[in-house]
Each structure stands twice: as structure tokens, then as C-alpha cells.
Amino acid sequence: MNGDSIRVLLVEDNPADVRLVQEVLVESSARFRITHADRLDKALASLREESFDVILLDLSLPDSQGLETFRQVRAAMPALPILVLTYHQDEALALQTVQRGAQDFLTKGHEESRYLDRSIRYAIERKQAEERLRESNEQYRALFESNPIPMWVFDPIKASFVSVNEAAIHHYGYSRDEILSMTPRSPSAPEELASLLKYGSQISHQNFEAGFSRSGEWTLRTKSGVLITAEITWSQMTFHGKTSWLISAHDISDRKRVEETLKRSEQQLAETERLTRLGSWRWDIPSNQVTWSDELYRIFSLKPQSKEITFETYLSYIHPEDREQVKRTIEQSLENRGSFSCYHRIVLPDGSSRLLHLTGAVVTDAQGRAIHMVGTAQDITERKRDEEALKESHQLFQAVIEGIPDTVYVKDLQGRYILINSAGARRIGKQIEEIIGKTDEHLFVSHTTTSLTNPQMTPAGEIQTFEETEQREGILRTYLTTKILRRNPQDEIIGLIGISREITEQKQSEESLRFHVRQQTALAELGQYALGGLDFYALLDKAAALVTRALETEYAKILELLPEGKTLLLRAGVGWKDGLIRTATLPANPESQGGYTLLTNAPVIVEDLRTEDRFTPPALLREHGVVSGLSVVIPGTRRPFGTLSVHTARRRLFTQAEVRFLQVVADLLATAIERRRAEETIQHQAYYDALTGLPNRSLLEDHLALAISQADRHNDMVALMFLDLDCFKEVNDTLGHPIGDQLLKAVSERLAACVRDGDTFARMGGDEFTILLPEIDTIEKVTRVAERVLEALIPAFRIAGQELPVSASIGIALYPQAGRDPETLLRNADTALYRAKKQGKNTFCFFSPTPNEKMTRERSIENSLRQALEREEFLLHYQPQIDLKSRRIVGLETLIRWRRPDATLVSAADFIPLADKTGLIVPIGEWVLRTACAQNRKWQDAGLPSLRVGVNLSAGQFYREDLSATISRVLADTGLAPGYLELELTEKILMRKEEPLVAMLRKLAAMGIALTIDDFGTGYSSLTHLKRFPISKLKIDQSFVRNITTDSNNATIAKTVVKMAHSLQMKGIAEGVEAEEEMEFLHSIDCDEMQGYLFSRPLPADETERLLARGAVL
């Protein structure tokens, strides 16, 4: 309002209504200044240009109608009260405007003076009250809701919070509902806030004046558990008409932490001053008052703060001899407005004196006038005394280390020399002054230092190491260096102290002695191996390992000169990559180190292969980073065996003592080589006929025993032919023994072509020969061989220009019909030979017992065999096969037994040959196959380990066209997976028609069945074709395993079989293992699996099941 007049904006388009309103307001006692607008746009323009106290608004205007008119006017001036003018029929619309903010509405035609005047005044006053209320609410929000300090309103009657601001919610982490629901006893209230509520309840029962407030420090906890120190203020207030408490919580945690830090800092400062004997002072120059710290009082032996101090007081304590100098120093500092530092003595009340280090600095005002001086005073009496003692100790230490002939030095953490004696300077070759402050990198530019040993910590905490230094002149010097870590009083490492003594000569003597010991030990071991019957190539491996250890080199190699004389084979060695030993070759020409060594027939020393110009370093050495080496010749009777050499990956000059040692080893190997060749000659003479080169009686008997063992195991026959030349005695008697010997050699050569590779053709002596035919399944085969022998002798022999006709008589003994041991078979073969000669010579005769007796016995056994299948008299035993590395059972071999009605247990060797002959082997073999597969599946279903079960196939079974179909049917019926079946085949099966044989083997292998050659090593199969067969395993016959540790022939055969198996990607398994020594030897030649009585005899099914249940590990 402007003065006493009320400014009115009348928005009305009806002139009559305008005049009526103007007349009514003029009659009123109040003063009104009216501005009229008949359109909305004019009204809005007036509101922008002028100020009004109230608006009288008609809703129906030419340019706007109804609520839209009200909306635009209110939006233009929301703070002004609006009275709506309307007709009776428009009162509902007017009510809507009131709901939207209009102060009131008046019906047109009733605008009497007192009503209109009162309505306008009421509208203005109510609008003003609303504005005051809005401002009050805004102030409340500013003071409470928007206050950054956490605040609550506490109702003492309810003992709970009735309001809380956003700062408290944010600061303490509780929601508004959580805070307003808290009471002193509610479980949701943390202990600290519950205590605050209890305190509010307690003070509410006391009488306080209006406006009373109190404050104090509280520890409150946030919802996340953080403790906050707060200054709590309680102020009485009226909230919604009730007496309440306004609680504000100002967070003073940071201030408390600062106060604690300051307090600790002051305590630490005081403690530091006490420990360092350092006091502080402040001299107020205008008042001449000096303030001392407590420690400074203690330094002067005064009670802290017991006496007022002035500048003159301080001067009085200074020693008379130092007083004037101190005074001048302070005065100069005041004059220069600078700082000072000086040392002086003070005299204490008891008459004693102390030495102080006094420092100070001038503080000026804005005009540059000195207003006070601050500084410190430190009692350095003890430190000065210690420094003097240290100086004296240092001088003594310097004198002591100068008298030591060893190098003594001190280094800091960066490796810089801070002290060294004259002996050390002489070793380095510089003056002491040139060394101090330098590191080894600066001083030993041309030196190379190598640590010969790993540092060793002594019981005293010292570190000892041997170091070898190559000096400028190329001389190697060895030093024993002891290093001690230097530590400060805080036990921090600040450097090291070193003492280094040259021990070159001592080291050389010790090394010479150690080398001598290593050399003698190596030679003794090698001699023991050489004389102990160790396999020759194993001896070479041992030799390579021993020279590597004795000479302390990374590599050693033995190169064998091959027979053609152009190639060197890496026969043995140490340090070379896998797969090179026994395969890598080098040229034997002088361009290589090995060839050059053979050419010169003298030791060759290579100090640095990178600069070698006598020969070209081979790729083998370059690829392994070889730098130095030494090689010698391994001599031989007719030509050198090869070379022995050692190599290192670092530069090394081998000594003459080392050369002599390596040559001794090479000579020892040469002796072993000659001994081996001599033994081979003796061995050959012991088992071979000198005249013909054929096996002699001894070797025949060995082979015969082996063949019998094989036949016994696999139900085969063995044929032994005893052959005697007819009328040979007449040749010897008439033409002489030389002609007779030539004839015997010619006969041997011709008959050797009549036998298989695996047969044994031997000379028994004189004109008697034997032919051993193992693994015979039909007598017809024996007959054909005998006929072939007789036919081969038909053409006459031409000896010394003469035609000599020769014939022979042959006696044949079959195992087991004619005997079950070598002696019986030889005797019966000789008997058969006698019968052949009686029949007219140039013929052959089989040994047989009385015909009626033999036929009767065979007919009885045949009848019993036919009934045995029906009566279920056959049973199977299982012998475990063991993985040599894991000692775990990996398979089982199936062996058939025949339990006769009288409970007699018959071995397979006693009935299988007859079963084979009569054809019963087929149904018996299928029964074995089906029973073994069914039993294996039963064990698997019982949760026992899944293993392979091996079944032997006879020749009669194998060559049946329906074999694969039979096996497929058995596997399907029993539910056994093919991978758990292994078929064992004898070598004689592999000698049949090759193409059908290969086709059948591949068909079985394609089914997933494993194939094994049983009793391999007897030499009867064609090894050249072996690689064509899908065989997975070769089994070493038990005759070779027997005496394998004492019979070198057996050992060689076993080793050869294993290597052959591995080269063909097969496994090797040995049978008949009965001794620990046999097992260890087989392990040493990398045999994969084995079986025998050492582990387990063949077991019935129930005992086998118990064995597997124990874990299948032996």
C-alpha cells in the first residue's frame, strides 16, 4: 500500500460493472486507487509496469475465459491477493479459483461498500499472514532443517525425538524413521544415543527458567560403528505448543584429535629435549625477560620455573673466560638482525662446568625492529667427550689396520669406500686418497671378480666367501673375504666392513689335494665297475659321470669311432639334451675336435672355443654354450675306440694333471674294451663249434631247455632231430682229416638253409648234428624239415677236386611224447637215430613208445577231455601283471587248469597238446575266453579296479575264419569292453601266411583289443616283419629272466627285447620274475611290466578278487 491508499487493479470488460465497483469503492471510508483493464493482455501489461495491493478479476474477458484467465494472472503476480468477480451461475467456477489460490470471490450486483471494502482488506491481510508464515517456515528450515550441525527436537514427556534434521540423518547414518522411533529402552538405539535420551528425561524433571540451556561433551556412535566426539547443547524451546529440548551436536572429533596431537607433540618435544639435553629459550627484548623451557632449567641444575631470567642473569652463568665472547656474538646478531651459533661453558651452582652449544635468531616487527630473540641451548659435554674418545679410538684403529697385511676396508650402503688400509690400496694399485669415495666399478675397470662359493654365514653373524679376481696381467688371485654389516644405534644397516686375505697358494694346494682325492675316488669306482661285470655301455655311462664329477665340468662325452671309420657316435655322455645319447653323430675328419684328437693321437686342450682355429667347433658344442674343453684318445689294439672329452660353459684352462687323469680314464676304458672283446671270444668258443661256427652241445642244451619251458607253458610240441652222416668215417680214413673237415663245413652251410631263423642247428661233435624245432603244432612240419634235410644232401659235394656223395640218418624225438626233459629227449632222439640206421640209412625215424600203450593212453585222455567241458572240470587261475614303476596291478594273465574227478589238478602242458591235435582246443579256448571276460566284467561291476585280462590263443584258434566273430560275440554276451581284453599270441603264429595274418591282427586291433607276443626273445619270429604287426607288448620269456643277473647272454637278450619294444612304440613285460635282483635289473633296463612268483603265483578267482580289493598295489 502507498501511504493510506490501497492500489487496486480492476480487470473487467463490462462498463456497467466497472462503474458499479468504482462507485462502491468511492463511497468507502478507505482510500482506493483504481487502475482498470478490460482485457487480459492489458491487465498483464499493468502488472508488469505498476505495483498493486489487490486484484479484482472477472474470469470472462474478450481475450481469455474461465480458469485460464485466473491461471495467467496468478502466474504473472503470485504474491498479490486475487478477488474473483462472478455471477450466480458461475459460483462453481469461482470456488475452483479459490482452491487454486484466490483469496475470495464476490457475486456481481452485491458489491456494497462495506462488503467490498471488507473483502479487499481481509484478502490483503490474509495474504500478508501467509507470507509471514512462509517466511517463518523458511527461517525454520534454514535454522533447523538446513543447518549443517546435527539437531534433534526432544519431547521430555515421550522421552523420544520428535524431529531430526538432515544433518543428523547424514552424519549418524540412521534413517529419519529409525531416529524418531528410538527411546531410552528401544533395542534399535545404540548405547550412546540411549544415554542421550536418558539424560534428556532426567533434566526435564528439574525446574529451569525459560530459555535455559546447557552443554557438554558426549561420545556418540554412528550406525556403522564409528565413534564421534560431539559438543552437545540442550536448549529449551516450544515445539508445536509443547515445551521441548532442542539438541544440537557439534562434531569436535577433528578438534579433539588436533588437541591430542598437539598435546603429544608437546610431550614429545619435552621428551626430545630431555633426551638430547636440548633446551629452548625466548628473550623478549623490550622487557628484557627471558623464558626458558623446563629442560633448560635442568641443564643449569635449577628447578623448572623457579627463577625469573633476564639477559644479564644468563650471562652470569657463563664461564668468565667465555662470557665476553658470547655477549659480543649476541650483540652482533642483534645488530645484523641475523642468527648465531657458538659454544661456551657454564658454571653450575655446585661449581662444576658444562659445555653448551648456543644458537639463536632475531625476530623483527614490520618496521624491522628487533622485538625478541629465540634459540636453543644444548648440553654437549658428554658428546664432546665421546667425540674426543672416538677420535682417539679412530687413530688407534687406523694404526691397527695399517699394521695388518690383509686388506681392510669400510663401505657405505652405495658401495663407496670410506676407509681402506695401505695393504688394500696396494692390492688395488692406487693411493688411499684415490680410493676413498669410489666404488669397485670405478676402481676395477679391467678386473673380473667371480664368487667361487655361495656366501656362508658364520656363527658370529659374519659373511664369508671365496672370490677369484683376474687382474690386469691376467693372473688369477683367490681371496677369502669376511664381511660384517655395519649398523647404526637404531640397528639400521649403513654399510659393511670387509677383511680380505689372499689365499691363492693355499687354495691351489687345497684344490690340488681335492682333485687328487676326486681323481683317485673316480678311478677306484671305475675300476670296480669295470671288474664287476657291469654291462659295457653302462660302464661308459658311469665313466662319463665320474669324469664330470672329478673334473667339475658341466659336460662329458664318449665318442665311438664306427667301423666304417668316418663317423663318431655319441655313445655316452653327461649334460647333453635328451635324445642325443646313442643317436647323435659327428664327422671323424680333422675338421672336428674328435677327429682332430684322433688325427694327432694326443690330448687336445681348448681354452676358448670361440677363438679356436685348429678345427671347426661342431654344432653340438655351440648349441650347448660350450666354451672350453679337453679331449683324449681311447686307444685300441687295431685302431682307436674313439675319444673321451669334457667341456665347460665358462672359460677354463685345463691343467696337465687334469689331462693325465682323463688319459688314465681313457686307458682304463680301453682295457675294459679289450677285456670285453676277449670275453666275447671266450663266450663264442664256449658255445660255438670252432670248425663250423655252429652252436655246440652246450648251447643246444640251453636252447632245448628254453624250448621245453616255452612248450610247457603254451601247450606246444618240440622236435629234436639227431643227424649222423652216413659213411663219413670212410672219407676221413681214405682222404684224411683236412678233407673231412672241409666236408663237415660244406654240409653245415648247406643244411643251415633248411631250418627257420628261430630253429637251432648245432654240431654235437664228429659227424653228428642236431636240429631243434621249437613251437611245433603238427608232426607234418617236422616231417617236411627232415625230408628237406635229406633232399639237401642229394647233390654231391665237391671238395679238393673230388665229388663226394653224402647222405644222413635222422632220429627225431618229440616233446612231450618222447620225454619231458633235455636229457631224455637227447637219449630218445639218439635211439631213434639208431633205428633209422637199422632201417637202411638215408632216412628218418620218430621215437615212440610201445604203439598199443600210447594209443590207449591218448584215447583215454581224449575221452576225459570231451567230458571235462560238460562236467565243468576246467577252472581258471589269474596271475597279476605289475607296472614296474607304480607297483600297481595293471593286468591279469589267464591260465587254465583241469581238475580231474579224483581231485588231481592237471597242468595245461599235459593236456593242451592232445586238445590241439584232436581239435578240442577250439571249444576249450572259447570257454577260456568267455569265462575270463565274464569274470573281469563281474569284478568291474563289484567296483574293483578295471584291468586288462590276458588270454592265450593257440594256432588252431587263431587261424579259424570265425575268430573275430567269436570274440565279438563273447564280448557282447559278457558286456566287457574290448579295451579290457588282451590276446597273447605265440611267435610261431606270426610265421604263417603273412598277409592273412596281418589282416587278422589289424582287425582285432581295430576292435580295441590289445595284442601281445608271448615268450618273445627266443628268436623264432621274423623280426624284420614285426613292425608291420599292430602289437602293443612283447613278453620276455622266463628262461631269459632266470639267472638274468649272472648270465650276460640272458641279460643282453632281455635288454634287447625291451629296447626293441620301445623303438616300435610297444611295451616290454617280463614273466617268471622270482627274485628281487631280477626285478631291480629289469627296472634298470626300463622294462615296463612284469609278472612272477616274486609278486604272486597264479590265483583262483576268489583269491584274485581279495587281492584286487586290497587296493591292487603290490
- CATH class assigned to 270-384: alpha beta
Partner residues linked to 487 by β-bridges: 493
Cα distance between residue 283 and residue 290, in whole Å = 4
Which homologous superfamily does the CATH classification assign to the domain defined by 511-684?
GAF domain (3.30.450.40)
- Cβ burial, residue 816 (10 Å; 0-12/13-18/19+): buried
pLDDT of residue 869: 83
Partner residues linked to 587 by β-bridges: 567
Beta strands in 475-566 (DSSP E): 476-487, 493-502, 555-561
Cα distance between residue 665 and residue 518, in whole Å = 13
pLDDT of residue 396: 73
Contact (CB, 8 A) for 891 and 1089: yes
Cα angle: 132, vertex 75, 39; to 5 degrees: 125
Which homologous superfamily does the CATH classification assign to the domain defined by 147-251?
PAS domain (3.30.450.20)
- Cβ burial, residue 689 (10 Å; 0-12/13-18/19+): buried
In this structure, the dihedral spanned by the alpha carbons of residues 445, 447, 451 and 456, taken in order and rounded to 10 degrees, is: -70
Partner residues linked to 740 by β-bridges: none
**Cα–Cα distance list, 60 to 33, 41, 69, 120, 887 (Å):** 23, 13, 8, 21, 112
pLDDT of residue 1020: 44
C-alpha cell at 990: 606270426
Cα distance between residue 576 and residue 569, in whole Å = 14
Helical ranges in 816-885 per DSSP H: 822-838, 851-870
Question: Is pLDDT of 1022 > 60?
Answer: no
Contact (CB, 8 A) for 493 and 487: yes
Question: Is pLDDT of 508 > 50?
Answer: yes
Contact (CB, 8 A) for 984 and 1019: no
Three-class SS state of 1105: helix
Choose from 380-389, 976-985, 1046-1055 the range with maximum mean pLDDT: 976-985
- CATH class assigned to 877-1109: alpha beta
**Cα–Cα distance list, 312 to 118, 119, 206, 290, 302 (Å):** 91, 91, 61, 10, 17
C-alpha cell at 446: 679391467
C-alpha cell at 709: 619251458
How many Cβ atoms are within 10 Å of 629's Cβ, its own excluded?
Answer: 25
Which carries the bigger pLDDT value, residue 339 or residue 2? 339
Question: Is pLDDT of 261 > 80?
Answer: no
Cα distance between residue 802 and residue 790, in whole Å = 21
**Cα–Cα distance list, 1050 to 31, 415, 1054 (Å):** 144, 68, 6
Q: Which band of pLDDT confidence, cut at 50, 70 and 90, is reported for residue 447?
A: very low
pLDDT of residue 808: 92
Q: Which band of pLDDT confidence, cut at 50, 70 and 90, is reported for residue 773?
A: very high
Average pLDDT, the chain: 83
Fold annotation for 404-502: Beta-Lactamase (3.30.450)
- Please state which of the ranges 56-60, 358-362, 1038-1042 shows the lowest mean pLDDT: 1038-1042
C-alpha cell at 895: 591260465
Instruction: Give start-end residues of each CATH 3.40.50.2300 domain in the chain.
Output: 5-142
Question: Is pLDDT of 1087 > 90?
Answer: yes
Q: Which band of pLDDT confidence, cut at 50, 70 and 90, is reported for residue 61?
A: very high
Question: Closest Cα partner for 689 from 678, 680, 698, 676?
Answer: 698
Cα angle: 699, vertex 701, 702; to 5 degrees: 65
Q: Which band of pLDDT confidence, cut at 50, 70 and 90, is reported for residue 1099?
A: very high
Give just the sign of the alpha carbon dihedral 206, 211, 217, 222. Answer: positive
Contact (CB, 8 A) for 799 and 977: no
Question: Closest Cα partner for 759 from 847, 698, 819, 695?
Answer: 695
User: What H or E segment, with its residue span, contains residue 769?
Assistant: strand 768-776
**What one-letter code names the amino acid at 986?**
T
User: What H or E segment, with its residue span, contains residue 85?
Assistant: strand 82-86
Question: Is pLDDT of 446 > 50?
Answer: no
Question: Is pLDDT of 4 > 90?
Answer: no
Percent pLDDT > 70 in the chain is 87
Rounded CA Rg of the chain: 60
Mean pLDDT of 376-389: 84
Contact (CB, 8 A) for 417 and 408: no
Cα distance between residue 856 and residue 505, in whole Å = 95
Contact (CB, 8 A) for 1039 and 709: yes
Compute CA 560 distance to the chain's CA centroid, rounded to the nearest angstrom: 41
Question: Is pLDDT of 129 > 90?
Answer: no
Cα angle: 1005, vertex 1011, 1015; to 5 degrees: 160
pLDDT of residue 451: 47
pLDDT of residue 210: 47
pLDDT of residue 29: 64
Contact (CB, 8 A) for 517 and 534: no
**What's 761's DSSP letter?**
E
In this structure, the dihedral spanned by the alpha carbons of residues 501, 504, 509 and 511, taken in order and rounded to 10 degrees, is: 100
pLDDT digits (tens, 9 = 90+) for 754-764: 888 889 999 98
Mean pLDDT of 1023-1030: 72
Q: For the residues of 564-630, what is the DSSP string, one character each? A: TSSEEEEEEEESPPTT-TTT-EEE-STTSHHHHHHHHTS-EEES-GGG--SSPPPHHHHHTT--EEE
**What one-letter code names the amino acid at 739?**
I
- Cβ burial, residue 613 (10 Å; 0-12/13-18/19+): exposed
pLDDT digits (tens, 9 = 90+) for 91-105: 788 788 888 888 788
Contact (CB, 8 A) for 970 and 938: no
Which carries the bigger pLDDT value, residue 48 or residue 473? 48
How many Cβ atoms are within 10 Å of 797's Cβ, its own excluded?
Answer: 16
Question: Closest Cα partner for 631 from 657, 589, 595?
Answer: 595
Three-class SS state of 520: helix
Mean pLDDT of 897-903: 83
Single pTM value for the model = 0.34
Q: Which band of pLDDT confidence, cut at 50, 70 and 90, is reported for residue 453?
A: very low
Question: Is pLDDT of 178 > 90?
Answer: no
Phi-psi region of 333 (alpha: psi -120 to 50; beta: other; left: phi over 0): alpha
Question: Closest Cα partner for 607 from 565, 564, 651?
Answer: 651
Three-class SS state of 215: strand
**What's 156's DSSP letter?**
T
Contact (CB, 8 A) for 41 and 63: yes
590-601 burial, b at 16+ Cβ within 10 Å, e below that, comes to bebbbbbbbbee
Question: How many residues can be counted in the chain?
Answer: 1114
Mean pLDDT of 684-694: 84
Question: Is pLDDT of 211 > 60?
Answer: no
Cα distance between residue 768 and residue 689, in whole Å = 12
Cα distance between residue 81 and residue 103, in whole Å = 6
Partner residues linked to 539 by β-bridges: none
Instruction: Give start-end residues of each CATH 3.30.450.40 domain in the chain.
Output: 511-684
Does the domain at residues 688-848 carry the CATH identifier 3.30.70.270?
yes
pLDDT of residue 309: 86
Instruction: Give start-end residues of each CATH 3.30.450.20 domain in the chain.
Output: 147-251, 270-384, 404-502
Partner residues linked to 378 by β-bridges: 278, 357
**What's 453's DSSP letter?**
S
Mean pLDDT of 519-535: 69
pLDDT digits (tens, 9 = 90+) for 287-331: 898 888 888 888 888 888 777 888 888 899 999 999 999 999 999
Contact (CB, 8 A) for 469 and 449: yes
- Please state which of the ranges 132-141, 274-283, 410-419, 1061-1070 shows the lowest mean pLDDT: 132-141
pLDDT digits (tens, 9 = 90+) for 595-619: 899 989 999 999 888 888 888 888 8
User: Residue 213 contacts by C-beta under 8 Å, 6 or more apart in sequence?
Assistant: 233, 234, 235, 236
Mean pLDDT of 450-470: 55
Cα distance between residue 594 and residue 587, in whole Å = 8
Question: Closest Cα partner for 12 from 111, 92, 103?
Answer: 111
Question: Is pLDDT of 161 > 70?
Answer: yes
Question: Closest Cα partner for 1020 from 668, 660, 755?
Answer: 755
Which carries the bigger pLDDT value, residue 211 or residue 140? 140
Which carries the bigger pLDDT value, residue 508 or residue 278? 278
Cα distance between residue 1031 and residue 1013, in whole Å = 7
Fold annotation for 5-142: Rossmann fold (3.40.50)
pLDDT of residue 476: 64
pLDDT of residue 231: 86
Mean pLDDT of 858-863: 66
C-alpha cell at 585: 653323430
User: Residue 645 contacts by C-beta under 8 Å, 6 or more apart in sequence?
Assistant: 556, 557, 559, 593, 594, 597, 629, 630, 631, 632, 662
Instruction: Give start-end residues of each CATH 3.30.70.270 domain in the chain.
Output: 688-848
Cα angle: 555, vertex 561, 563; to 5 degrees: 155
**Cis-peptide into 901, omega within 30 deg:** no
